[in-house]
Structure 1
């Protein structure tokens, strides 16, 4: 049985060459037929509400079985962390990959009670053997301080601190593909 990769996209427009569209297309192409790739359109991405995204995530997860790899880009990563720390799920997650995600409540520019994590959220996450955080040092959309905050809260995570200003990763993210591919191998992931 193929593992499933469930990709939760960013906020904002998701048409061709916008939002997470290029990154998800790249990832699906690079993973090839070794994985079942699921890329649901989340509700109202240009004016997202957590309850609507949570409900859609419930639907998507209820359609899956077997081992699941979770990938969240930007808001999608925040939503996955919030969902996993507040809801129960019977699936087995072999990896959680969080890409350029905001840490809501970190400063006055990033306030949203709707998406903010509970205090000690990290203690409420299910056991996921492989957790990765990806972020560009000089990114202009979600500052690198958000990545550092996640890294402090999630010391078990493998950190992928990337050069440059990339947020949307229009040309892909090869290290993400490599990290996902290593999940099924005996190679140690650090």
Structure 2
């Protein structure tokens, strides 16, 4: 039985050629021979609220069996971290991959209150041996300081500091595929 990769997309428009669509299509194409790929549409991505995203994530997780790899892009990564640190998940998680995610509450520009993590959220995460963080050093959408904050809070994570200013990863993210296949 194939392991499942569950991809949670970013906020904003998610139609073809928008938002996380390039990255998710790249991952699906790159991994389809070895992994089942699931990429649900999250509710109201242009005006996201945590509770509806949480409910959709629970629906998706409840459909899965066996080992799962969780991949979150931008807001999707924030949602995965919040969910996993506040709710119980009975699935065996082989890996958690957080890509260009905002650290809500970091400063006055990043204050979507319903997405802010609890203090010491890292202490409440399930034991996930393979945790990866990816962020472009010169990104303009989510500043690199967000990545550095996650890396400080999650010192056991492998932090991939990427050259350039990609946020959407329109041409894919080969190191992510490499890391997933390396598990």
Superposed displacement of residue 10, structure 1: 0.1
Query: Where does the alignment leave 5 or more consecutive residues of structure 2 unmatched?
Result: none
Q: Per-residue CA shift, 1:69-97, capped at 9, x if unaligned?
A: 00000000000000000000110000000
Find the counterpart in structure 1 of residue 70 from structure 2.
70
Query: Where does the alignment leave 5 or more consecutive residues of structure 1 unmatched?
Result: 184-190
Q: In 1, Cα distance between the equivalents of 2:27 and 2:113?
A: 31
Q: In 2, Cα distance between the equivalents of 1:64 and 1:16?
A: 25
Q: Say which SS state the counterpart of residue 37 (structure 1) adopts.
A: strand
Find the counterpart in structure 2 of residue 89 from structure 1.
89
Counting only pairs closer than 5 Å after superposition, residues 137-148 of structure 1 correspond to structure 2 as 137-148=137-148
Q: In 2, Cα distance between the equivalents of 1:124 and 1:91?
A: 16
Counting only pairs closer than 5 Å after superposition, residues 104-123 of structure 1 correspond to structure 2 as 104-123=104-123
Find the counterpart in structure 2 of residue 103 from structure 1.
103
Q: In 1, Cα distance between the equivalents of 2:129 and 2:157?
A: 9
Q: In 2, Cα distance between the equivalents of 1:108 and 1:129?
A: 33
Find the counterpart in structure 2 of residue 31 from structure 1.
31
Mean alpha-carbon deviation: is it higher for 97-106 or for 27-36? Answer: 27-36
Superposed displacement of residue 113, structure 1: 1.1
TM-score, structure 1 normalization: 0.96
Superposed displacement of residue 117, structure 1: 0.1
Find the counterpart in structure 2 of residue 180 from structure 1.
180
CA RMSD of aligned residues (A): 0.4
Q: Say which SS state the counterpart of residue 32 (structure 2) adopts.
A: helix
TM-score, structure 2 normalization: 0.99
